[in-house]
Amino acid sequence: MKILITGASSGIGAATAVHFAEQGWQVTIAGRDRERLEGVYTSLRGSGHELVCGDILDWAEDPKSMPQFGALNAMVWSAGCCRLAAGMLLRAPLLERTLKTNLVAPMVVTSHLYRTKQLVDGARVVWLGSQSAHDAGEGFSMYAASKGGLSAAARVLAKEFSQRKVALHCVEPATVNTPMTKALIEDFPELPKKLDHKIIEVDEVVSEVARLISSSIRP
Ligand SMILES: NC(=O)c1ccc[n+]([C@@H]2O[C@H](COP(=O)([O-])OP(=O)(O)OC[C@H]3O[C@@H](n4cnc5c(N)ncnc54)[C@H](OP(=O)(O)O)[C@@H]3O)[C@@H](O)[C@H]2O)c1
């Protein structure tokens, strides 16, 4: 059984890759930072894993430029970015980059993989959404907009993709202890005090992702 994981050079994506390799899957890990990707790659148990270095913004712009992944039984889309900006300081370039990374890329790339049947009939897809889609603090408007769009798109595409029994889920974790969160706290040390929930550990998210993917198919 083969799984593609984007954003696998860090945080949730990296931990998800390690989990699925432990479960006997062949894992294709994707990200931009080759050094960190290679670190994750060498930590994967088992054999048959692949490493793909690339920018999802390029893939979304021209899906034909994407590598051929072959027959995928599952995909976890964990690539994403989060930048904060006060509402009165919004500018198009950063907003557009956030939307392209968190919304346009997962939609276009998943569509391409479905259309080209690299996502095989019965495949399982999980997108990393966020609780911010429903409830986010000040400064998070760009991120919230991107993840809100992702949740809405997932509900529609799940219906369309069910024709080939491809299941699409969008998980929506609260704040997770990852490099993304650490970078935000470095820039805004007061952030943890402003959260009305506790910061959860990566393993909790990986368990939920694994449950959604493995409930109906097993290697
Ligand atoms: N952390 C949280 O609190 C939290 C909560 C809810 C949802 N999420 C979502 O969960 C996902 C993973 O978050 P995380 O906390 O694990 O973040 P992270 O540690 O910062 O990892 C983000 C990953 O996305 C990749 N990425 C970003 N832009 C990319 C691009 N243009 N092309 C290719 N890869 C790109 C990064 O690759 P490189 O580093 O190699 O460029 C990295 O592997 C994100 O979608 C995030 O929005 C996070």
State the CATH number of the domain containing residue 144: 3.40.50.720
Which pLDDT band, with edges at 50, 70 and 90, does 197 fall under? confident
Q: What is the mean pLDDT of the chain?
A: 96
| Nearest residue by C-alpha to atom 19 in ligand 1 | 11
Instruction: Report the separation in Å between the CA atom of 99 and the middle of ligand 1, taken as the mean of its atom positions.
Output: 13
Section 111-136 average pLDDT: 97
Has residue 9 been placed in a domain? yes
Instruction: Write out pLDDT tens, residues 172-188.
Output: 999 999 999 999 999 98
- For the Cβ of 39 lying below 6 angstroms from any atom of ligand 1, the answer is no
Has residue 197 been placed in a domain? yes
The pTM (predicted TM-score) of the whole model is: 0.97
Cα 89 to Cα 92: distance, rounded to the nearest angstrom? 10
Q: Is 80 exceeded by the pLDDT of residue 158? A: yes
Has residue 217 been placed in a domain? no
- State the residue range of the domain holding 136: 2-212
- For the Cβ of 106 lying below 6 angstroms from any atom of ligand 1, the answer is no
Cα 219 to Cα 20: distance, rounded to the nearest angstrom? 10
Q: At what angle do helices 11-22 and 34-42 cross, to 10 degrees?
A: 30
Has residue 219 been placed in a domain? no
Has residue 83 been placed in a domain? yes
| Nearest residue by C-alpha to atom 23 in ligand 1 | 7
Residue 163 is classified by DSSP as: G
- For the Cβ of 97 lying below 6 angstroms from any atom of ligand 1, the answer is no
| Nearest residue by C-alpha to atom 43 in ligand 1 | 7
Instruction: Report the separation in Å between the CA atom of 80 and the middle of ligand 1, taken as the mean of its atom positions.
Output: 4
- For the Cβ of 10 lying below 6 angstroms from any atom of ligand 1, the answer is yes
Give the pLDDT score at 97.
98
Cα 131 to Cα 119: distance, rounded to the nearest angstrom? 27
- For the Cβ of 53 lying below 6 angstroms from any atom of ligand 1, the answer is no
Has residue 50 been placed in a domain? yes
**Residues β-bridged to residue 4:** 28, 75
Instruction: Write out pLDDT tens, residues 6-36.
Output: 999 999 999 999 999 999 999 999 999 999 9
Cα 101 to Cα 82: distance, rounded to the nearest angstrom? 10
Query: Could you give the angle at the alpha carbon of 6 between the alpha carbons of 38 and 2, nearest 5°?
Result: 85
Which residue, chain included where needed, has tokens 């400064």? 139
Has residue 218 been placed in a domain? no
**Residues β-bridged to residue 170:** 127
Has residue 170 been placed in a domain? yes
Section 165-170 average pLDDT: 97
Helix (H) or strand (E) holding 108: helix 105-115
Instruction: Write out pLDDT tens, residues 77-118.
Output: 999 999 999 999 999 999 999 999 999 999 999 999 999 999
- For the Cβ of 96 lying below 6 angstroms from any atom of ligand 1, the answer is no
Q: Could you identify the atom of ligand 1 that is nearest to the CA of residue 57?
A: 31
Q: How many domains does the chain have?
A: 1
Q: Could you identify the atom of ligand 1 that is nearest to the CA of residue 14?
A: 43
Residue 14 is classified by DSSP as: H
